[in-house]
């Protein structure tokens, strides 16, 4: 068995790395154990809302993020006929101190990983450590790991464990063996396409709704080819009560979803062309999990998607994970300063974050930002409208948006 570490962070994703960096910033040591052997720029796009950017700025990472991301100017909603329903300024353009950024998830992860290696030291960031189980006693926790590509991995002994091992968390499963994802018949397909700037190239765009087909579209890399084109991230969502859950371990097929969007050709965007021009398509089920009654168990606690996986609506999953990271780091630092028992810190963290994130999970299910389009469809009978203001006022639509911001924790402070 390897030498005991004080705090073991299981999982080196967004939550785990941000938490490790926050602990280091507060003078507290930890070790990160990540399952993959080699960190690569994988995945597609992610949107960092101002409250997510605030957490990353506190870690000193804003310059690196702005260098590779695109600052969103607006969020705009269209029905499936390409008619504008609602739009609003975002980030700095809406009066926030910090930007809203579209960025490649792999680049975000790379920035966090590089910072962790430099600040913690590479000897404290371990790759090829896929957690398979744990055993807890009065003195600490023994973590078991699967063999990696370099050979067997010895168990790790830690005084405290923070599980950041994602939606399929092994640590969560240890405490909740019957844990399952919740699937409500919504499947998604994601891709990136080199495309000329859409609506000026700084817009987060939602078109349609999950009942009739929905697209989310935003740029994540500027001038990707030296000819002014952008790398545009897109997500297709379809709800079908008869559908089987997507398999996120296999590539997506356009034939499975393109027919829903076949006639989505507007004067400002050809959606089928955007989809078919993607180099690669990934498929994912839209899943979350019901809120848990507790996260903290003596010397172990959960964080990020291991604690509260949520629908990827409202671009809020990463933000909530980053807030988790800072909150727990603060609680540990407070207890550490007085030589207290970190069980108290884990419990305080849970008290602050469990109910707050449960509310976001529920709102993402029932009243997400795209309820704006669903409301417009309801009022228009699912048909093209003459003037949206004849159906519902922009103030009423803004109230839907503002309600989500309030619950998600990024309402503009007056």
Per-residue pLDDT tens over the stretch 79-97: 999 999 999 999 999 999 9
pLDDT in tens, 364-404: 888 778 889 999 999 999 999 999 999 999 999 999 999 88
Q: Tokens 């997400």 map to which residue? A: 368
Whether 2 shows a pLDDT value over 70: the answer reads no
Q: Residues of the chain with pLDDT > 70: what percent?
A: 99
> H or E element: which one contains 48?
strand 45-48
pLDDT of residue 242: 85
Number of helices (H) and strands (E) in the chain: give both, helices first. Answer: 10, 17
Question: What is the C-alpha to C-alpha distance for residues 343 and 70, in angstroms, rounded to an integer?
Answer: 41
Question: What is the C-alpha to C-alpha distance for residues 10 and 143, in angstroms, rounded to an integer?
Answer: 9
pLDDT of residue 150: 74
Which CATH architecture is the domain 76-98+182-288+368-408 placed in?
2-Layer Sandwich (3.30)
Q: What are phi and psi of 197, to 5 degrees?
A: -55, 135
- Residue 48 forms beta bridges with which residues? 101
Start-to-end Cα distance in the chain? 54
- Of the candidates 77, 75, 106, 87, the residue with the CA atom closest to the CA atom of residue 202: 75
Whether 1 shows a pLDDT value over 60: the answer reads no
Of residues 1 and 28, more confidently modeled? 28
pLDDT of residue 144: 96
Question: What is the C-alpha to C-alpha distance for residues 156 and 164, in angstroms, rounded to an integer?
Answer: 16
Question: What is the C-alpha to C-alpha distance for residues 253 and 273, in angstroms, rounded to an integer?
Answer: 15
For the residues 98-106, what does the mean pLDDT come to? Answer: 95
Whether 171 shows a pLDDT value over 80: the answer reads yes
pLDDT in tens, 315-349: 788 999 999 999 999 999 999 999 999 999 999 99
Q: Residues of the chain with pLDDT > 90: what percent?
A: 84
Question: What is the C-alpha to C-alpha distance for residues 165 and 145, in angstroms, rounded to an integer?
Answer: 13
Q: Would you place residue 414 in the very low, low, confident or very high pLDDT band (cuts 50, 70, 90)? A: low
Q: Would you place residue 35 in the very low, low, confident or very high pLDDT band (cuts 50, 70, 90)? A: very high
> H or E element: which one contains 18?
helix 14-25
Which segments of 87-126 does DSSP mark as H helices, in order?
A: 105-120
Question: What is the C-alpha to C-alpha distance for residues 132 and 6, in angstroms, rounded to an integer?
Answer: 20
For the residues 243-268, what does the mean pLDDT come to? Answer: 93
Sequential DSSP letters for 125-161:
EEES--EEEEEE-SS-EEEEE--BTTB----EEEEEE
For the residues 27-47, what does the mean pLDDT come to? Answer: 89
Whether 249 shows a pLDDT value over 90: the answer reads no
Question: What is the C-alpha to C-alpha distance for residues 111 and 64, in angstroms, rounded to an integer?
Answer: 7
Structure tokens at 302: 């959960």
Please check whether residue 109 is in contact with residue 14, taking contact to mean a CB–CB distance below 8 angstroms.
yes
Quote the pTM value.
0.95
Whether 408 shows a pLDDT value over 90: the answer reads no
pLDDT of residue 302: 98
Question: What is the C-alpha to C-alpha distance for residues 303 and 317, in angstroms, rounded to an integer?
Answer: 11
Of residues 295 and 149, more confidently modeled? 295
Question: What is the C-alpha to C-alpha distance for residues 7 and 33, in angstroms, rounded to an integer?
Answer: 11
For the residues 11-36, what does the mean pLDDT come to? Answer: 97
Question: What is the C-alpha to C-alpha distance for residues 55 and 165, in angstroms, rounded to an integer?
Answer: 20
The three-class DSSP label of residue 272 is: helix
| CA 56 distance to own-chain centroid | 14
Q: Would you kindly state where each structural domain of the chain is located, as residue ranges?
A: 5-45+106-180+290-365, 76-98+182-288+368-408
Instruction: Pick the range with the lowest mean pLDDT from 200-204, 223-227, 243-247, 363-367.
Output: 363-367
Does domain 5-45+106-180+290-365 match CATH 3.30.530.20?
no
pLDDT in tens, 40-65: 777 789 999 999 999 999 999 999 99
Structure tokens at 338: 């007085």
Which segments of 121-161 does DSSP mark as H helices, in order?
A: none
Q: Would you place residue 12 in the very low, low, confident or very high pLDDT band (cuts 50, 70, 90)? A: very high
């Amino acid at each position: 068995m390897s030498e005991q570490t004080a705090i073991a962070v299981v999982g080196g994703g967004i939550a785990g790395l941000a938490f490790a960096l926050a602990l280091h910033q507060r003078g507290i040591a930890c070790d990160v154990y990540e399952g993959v052997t080699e960190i690569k720029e994988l995945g597609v796009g992610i949107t960092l809302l101002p409250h997510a950017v605030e957490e990353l700025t506190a870690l000193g990472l804003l310059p690196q993020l702005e260098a590779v991301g695109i600052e969103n100017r607006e969020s705009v909603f269209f029905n499936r006929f390409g008619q504008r329903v609602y739009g609003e300024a975002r980030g700095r353009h809406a009066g926030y101190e910090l930007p809203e950024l579209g960025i490649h998830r792999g680049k975000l992860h790379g920035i966090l990983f590089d910072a962790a290696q430099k600040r913690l030291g590479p000897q404290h960031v371990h790759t090829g450590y896929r957690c398979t189980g744990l055993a807890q006693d009065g003195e600490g926790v023994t973590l078991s790991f699967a063999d990696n590509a370099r050979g067997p991995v010895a168990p790790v002994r830690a005084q405290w464990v923070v599980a950041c091992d994602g939606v399929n968390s092994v640590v969560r499963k240890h405490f909740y063996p019957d844990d399952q994802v919740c699937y409500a018949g919504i499947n998604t397909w994601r891709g990136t396409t080199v495309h000329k700037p859409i609506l000026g190239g700084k817009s987060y765009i939602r078109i349609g709704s999950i009942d009739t087909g929905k697209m989310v579209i935003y740029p994540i890399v500027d001038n990707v080819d030296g000819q002014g084109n952008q790398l545009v991230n897109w997500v297709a969502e379809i709800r079908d009560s008869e559908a089987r859950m997507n398999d996120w371990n296999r590539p997506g097929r356009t034939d499975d979803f393109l027919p829903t969007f076949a006639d989505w050709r507007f004067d400002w965007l050809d959606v089928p062309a955007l989809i078919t021009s993607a180099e690669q398509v990934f498929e994912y089920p839209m899943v979350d999990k019901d809120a848990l009654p507790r996260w903290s168990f003596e010397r172990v606690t959960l964080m990020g998607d291991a604690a509260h996986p949520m629908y990827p609506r409202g671009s809020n999953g990463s933000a909530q994970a980053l807030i988790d990271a800072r909150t727990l780091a603060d609680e540990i630092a407070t207890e550490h300063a007085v030589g207290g028992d970190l069980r108290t810190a884990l419990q305080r963290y849970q008290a602050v974050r469990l109910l707050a994130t449960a509310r976001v999970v529920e709102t993402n299910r029932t009243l997400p930002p795209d309820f704006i389009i669903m409301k417009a469809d309801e009022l228009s009978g699912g048909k093209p409208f003459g003037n949206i203001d004849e159906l519902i006022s922009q103030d009423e639509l803004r109230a839907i948006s503002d309600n989500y911001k309030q619950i998600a924790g990024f309402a503009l402070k007056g």
